[in-house]
Chain A
Amino acid sequence: MSLAFLRAYRFSKLDTPVHRLDPRTKLVMAVAFTLLGVTTLDPLEILVLLLVQLIILTISRSLLMWLRSLRALLLFLVLILLAQVIATGNPLQSAFFALRFVVVASATSWFFFTTSPEDLGRALEQLGISADVALSFTLSMRFIPVIAEEFQSIFDAQRSRGLDVGKGNLWERTRSLLPVLVPLFVGVIRRTYEIADALELRGYGALKSRTRWKDPKFGRADFLALLALVALSAGLLYYRLVIPPLDLSKFATLL
């Protein structure tokens, strides 16, 4: 169940206008949507933000993936909904509360669907984060499946020597995994040394600065997207400050 949740944030290689946007633009957009969503309880704002996200998801052809990721969050959503209904006695308001959660989660969702870890690393480098940090980030992503596979093969080997992991309480079961975790850990450390050597053997660190082959470049689409973002945010903020909020408390009597 936990692994399915991770899949909700995986990059998939498609060619859509959203995918082609500069990762920095998308980062700004995602942060903006998150902030806008978190700071409001107004149903109209929430609906607008949800609509915008849905549009982005549709353009980037990740709507289906997003829906699947919601399935993983379903339990959580239901709990939030129930808690709110019990607390306020207002089902409609609670629904919007839960919806807000979806809006905020979706902001990061489409970001990760449309931005490859590589692009993210390059964008971070461009934003001034050191090449070392960006490299550590992409290296970690690169080796996660490798380490997962190594865990499996060590686990297989130890089970073939009679290791039994099912018995006892949580503590006992974790302890019984030591014959798997110890060699895994040792292997990871060893691998780190080898990777460090291999990096140097490819000239990493030879010069003070390095070129970025596929530098994300700001284009017209990015300019337009950011413009639209500014317009949207201005509109929402105006609405928030000037127009009184929709009062849903009168719907409480419907219960």
Chain B
Amino acid sequence: MTKIEILDVSFSYEPEREVLRQVTLDVPVGSSMSIMGPNGSGKTTLIKTFNGLLLPTKGKVLVDDIATTRTSISQLAKKVGIIFQNPEKSFFSETVRQEIAFGPKNMGFPEDEIDAVVNDVSVRFGLSAYLSSNPFDLSGGEKRRLSIASVLAWRPEVVVMDEPTVGLDHQYRVSLIEMLKGFKAEGKSVVIVTHDIDFALLTSDRTALMDDGSLIWSGSLTDLLKRPELFARANMVPTYLSSLCTELLRSGLSQDRLVPVDLASLLGGA
């Protein structure tokens, strides 16, 4: 199982502008973690260090004990799959099939294996009917699923998503939650960058809070809920759901029944 260790990492684009400040974090193997913080807190910059897109100016990032400076992005991408924001902006193929095959092809999968993974992943993400369609003809939700399928196609052990819920409707959000449960069941490590506290509550066990490039806090979501003042430190506002969960924990509800939050059972199966 791939492990990622971020050790005292700092990063600046220009000497005066430090975007990451001495961040130390472990990506737990086989569980789901959220990285939360307001826009501009450095969350996206941080995940770019996971696959070598950005190399730390100080400190180091180790993926399976190898520093990202000592290997290539394509090697790292095999283990760490990142789906960035607005992924449909990167579609370039004429067919959905070609789009999905792009990653595996780059990674040197043999021809027959490419066909196998493409079919496999298109069934899983409900795209088999569209394999010959043009990616631009798909609906918003289908496009998102295509972008996720394109990354899952080469079966990375770590899946990272940057603000997966932004710009899409509620229905897609629900299907995304199911998708993430599936990844977890397969033993993949999942990292979700989000500013949506509710989404983090519904999908992750552990979280890291960032503000202005620094890691303010990391731990289990339950611990975070017990300390709601941390939200203010990270320039975030507690939500209706998070306040409710905080109260539930305060009133003595046992921890293991709460996070990740199951909305249906909170509503009494309503």
The short answer to whether A and B are in direct contact, CB under 8 Å, is yes
**Contact in complex: A161, B84 (CB < 8 Å):** no
**Contact in complex: A156, B84 (CB < 8 Å):** yes
Instruction: Please encode chain A, from 148 to 173, with 1 for each CB lying within 8 Å of some chain B CB and 0 for all others.
Output: 00100110111111111000000000
Query: How far is A183 from B53 in the complex, measured between Cα atoms in Å?
Result: 20
Q: Does B118 contact A (CB under 8 A)?
A: no
Query: How far is A160 from B85 in the complex, measured between Cα atoms in Å?
Result: 13
One of B89, B102, B151 near A150 (C-beta < 8 A): B89
Number of interface residues of A (CB under 8 A): 19
Q: Does A187 contact B (CB under 8 A)?
A: yes
Q: Is the interface of A mostly helix, strand, loop or mixed?
A: helix
Q: Does B48 contact A (CB under 8 A)?
A: yes
Known interface pairs A153-B84, A164-B106, A179-B102. Does A159 touch B77 (Cβ–Cβ under 8 Å)? yes
Query: How far is A153 from B86 in the complex, measured between Cα atoms in Å?
Result: 10
Query: How far is A159 from B53 in the complex, measured between Cα atoms in Å?
Result: 8
Q: Does A31 contact B (CB under 8 A)?
A: no
Closest to A182 in B: B92
**Contact in complex: B77, A183 (CB < 8 Å):** no
Closest to B50 in A: A160
Known interface pairs A153-B84, A156-B53. Does A161 touch B151 (Cβ–Cβ under 8 Å)? yes
Query: How far is A210 from B124 in the complex, measured between Cα atoms in Å?
Result: 56
Instruction: Please encode chain B, from 44 to 86, with 1 for each CB lying within 8 Å of some chain A CB and 0 for all others.
Output: 0000100101000000000000000000111001100110100
Query: How far is A240 from B233 in the complex, measured between Cα atoms in Å?
Result: 72
Kindly provide the distance from the CB of B114 to the nearest chain A CB, expressed in whole angstroms: 12
Residues of B within 8 A of A160 (CB): 51, 53, 73, 77, 81-82, 84, 151
Residues of A within 8 A of B105 (CB): 162
Q: Does A243 contact B (CB under 8 A)?
A: no
Q: Does A178 contact B (CB under 8 A)?
A: yes
**Contact in complex: B90, A158 (CB < 8 Å):** yes
Instruction: Please encode chain A, from 173 to 208, with 1 for each CB lying within 8 Å of some chain B CB and 0 for all others.
Output: 000001110110011000000000000000000000
Query: How far is A156 from B83 in the complex, measured between Cα atoms in Å?
Result: 10
> Size range of the interface on B?
20 to 34
**Contact in complex: A154, B90 (CB < 8 Å):** yes
Known interface pairs A160-B84, A161-B106, A164-B74. Does A178 touch B92 (Cβ–Cβ under 8 Å)? yes
**Contact in complex: A183, B106 (CB < 8 Å):** no
One of A159, A162, A178, A183 near B89 (C-beta < 8 A): A183
Known interface pairs A159-B53, A161-B106. Does A183 touch B91 (Cβ–Cβ under 8 Å)? yes
Query: How far is A186 from B93 in the complex, measured between Cα atoms in Å?
Result: 12
**Contact in complex: B90, A157 (CB < 8 Å):** yes
One of A150, A153, A159, A183 near B92 (C-beta < 8 A): A183
Q: Does B218 contact A (CB under 8 A)?
A: no
Query: How far is A157 from B151 in the complex, measured between Cα atoms in Å?
Result: 10
Residues of A within 8 A of B82 (CB): 160
Known interface pairs A153-B84, A156-B53, A156-B84. Does A162 touch B74 (Cβ–Cβ under 8 Å)? yes
Given A159-B73, A179-B92, 10 more contacts at CB 8 Å?
A: A154-B90, A157-B87, A159-B77, A160-B73, A160-B81, A160-B151, A162-B78, A163-B106, A164-B72, A180-B92
The 6 closest A-B pairs by CB, nearest first: A162-B106, A182-B92, A161-B103, A157-B90, A162-B74, A179-B92
Mark A residues whose CB is within 8 Å of B.
150, 153-154, 156-164, 178-180, 182-183, 186-187
Task: Name 15 interchain pairs, CB-CB below 8 A, sorted by A.
Answer: A157-B87, A159-B77, A160-B51, A160-B53, A161-B77, A161-B150, A162-B77, A162-B102, A162-B105, A162-B107, A163-B74, A164-B74, A164-B106, A179-B90, A183-B91
